[in-house]
Amino acid sequence: MSTLLREHGFRVTKGKQALLQALHAHNAPLSVGALHEALGKHAPNPTTLYRSLLDLANAGIVRRTDLNTGIAHFEYTPERPHHHHIVCTSCNAIEEIDLCNVGTLEKKVARASKQFAHIDTHSLEFFGHCRACAQ
Amino acid sequence: MSTLLREHGFRVTKGKQALLQALHAHNAPLSVGALHEALGKHAPNPTTLYRSLLDLANAGIVRRTDLNTGIAHFEYTPERPHHHHIVCTSCNAIEEIDLCNVGTLEKKVARASKQFAHIDTHSLEFFGHCRACAQ
DNA sequence: ATCCGTGCAAACAGTTTGCACACTC
DNA sequence: GAGTGTGCAAACTGTTTGCACGGAT
């Protein structure tokens, strides 16, 4: 974790280490609030969280997704293959999906587009109800 | 437009009519701010816009998408086949994509999921750079 | 010793809520 | 006339910015 930070030119601080550790452990998009809570006693100031997450996102170490909730979620990306999520529209539970065949569609779309020079990435989320909320 | 409102139990007011008209005309996800601006002189109070859009979204007449920007966007859905968008990560330009073969993937995902009872919908957005911003 | 990272306070933007009035039915 | 829709003001939440201090290199 520390080498990862160094490789990207970040200083190795307790805050960023703990933050990455927590994101890595949770293994799903986490809102800033939830992340702050998860860090508990050693949590950095929310301000610092936002700043760190922004930097880490620019470095490509974490990925931002809003999941159509209006609030930012972040997930740890290294060692993780490209994947997507199902979100429960009642309780906001999130499950990971390890399959993605959008790659070919992405190429097709890039070719069909008139206004766009190239496509860098995509986000695909499914929305439904988890078993607990389904009844 | 007025019959559409009536069908869903809404009263036919100038505000909602203008709002739907504008969304229909623009034909792409519009932020509340942009929508308010587009309505110009006759724009309802922003508060009313939020309330109306929420109601219309619950009725299925408009659809909310955040496009990972952190702010709510809405688009007019009747008469429009299911579709997706490409967003320019520099200037936020939006282009529509009329092809979507995610349906089969959605079924596959629903079957593979352990925690989820059913999937209602999905959102798929591509991110890249438009020709203007590419250089 | 240098300079990035952090904390605190305050500002900000988007969104929501309460209440009184206006307009649709 | 009854009751939903709207405007205005104020509250709220998530997020950003400024500045001074502390810690990593």
Q: Can you tell me which residue has the tokens 């069909």? A: A112
A105 → closest Cβ in B101, B108, B123:
B101
pTM: 0.90
The pLDDT of B24-40, averaged and rounded, is 93
Residue B13: CB partners within 8 Å, gap ≥ 6? none
> Looking at A76-80, A125-129, B59-63, B99-103, which range is the least confident one?
B99-103
> Looking at A103-107, B39-43, B125-129, which range is the least confident one?
A103-107
- Residue A32: strand, helix, or coil: helix
Q: Residue B74 forms beta bridges with which residues?
A: B30, B64
Residue A104: CB partners within 8 Å, gap ≥ 6? none
- Position A79 scores a pLDDT of 85
Q: Kindly state the tokens that stand for A61.
A: 């170490």
**pLDDT single digits (tens) B55-64:** 999 999 999 9
Contact status of B97 with chain A (Cβ, < 8 Å): yes
The pLDDT of B88-105, averaged and rounded, is 83
Q: How far is CA A19 from CA A54, B21, B95, in A?
A: 12, 46, 36
Q: Quick check: B105 CB within 7 A of strand C?
A: no
> Looking at A43-57, A114-128, B28-42, B86-100, which range is the least confident one?
B86-100
Q: Quick check: A6 CB within 7 A of strand D?
A: yes
Residue A91 pLDDT class (50, 70, 90 cuts): confident
Q: How far is the CA of A32 from the C1' of D15 (A)?
A: 10
Residue A22 CB neighbours (<10 A):
20
Bases of strand C lying below 7 A from some protein CB: 4-10, 13-18, 23-25
Q: Answer whether B61's CB lies under 8 Å from B78's CB.
A: yes
**pLDDT single digits (tens) A14-41:** 999 999 999 999 988 999 999 999 998 8
What is the average pLDDT value for chain A, to the nearest integer? Answer: 92
For residue B99, is pLDDT > 80?
no
- Position A59 scores a pLDDT of 95
Q: Give the residue among B90, B87, B56 at the shortest CA–CA distance from B74.
A: B56
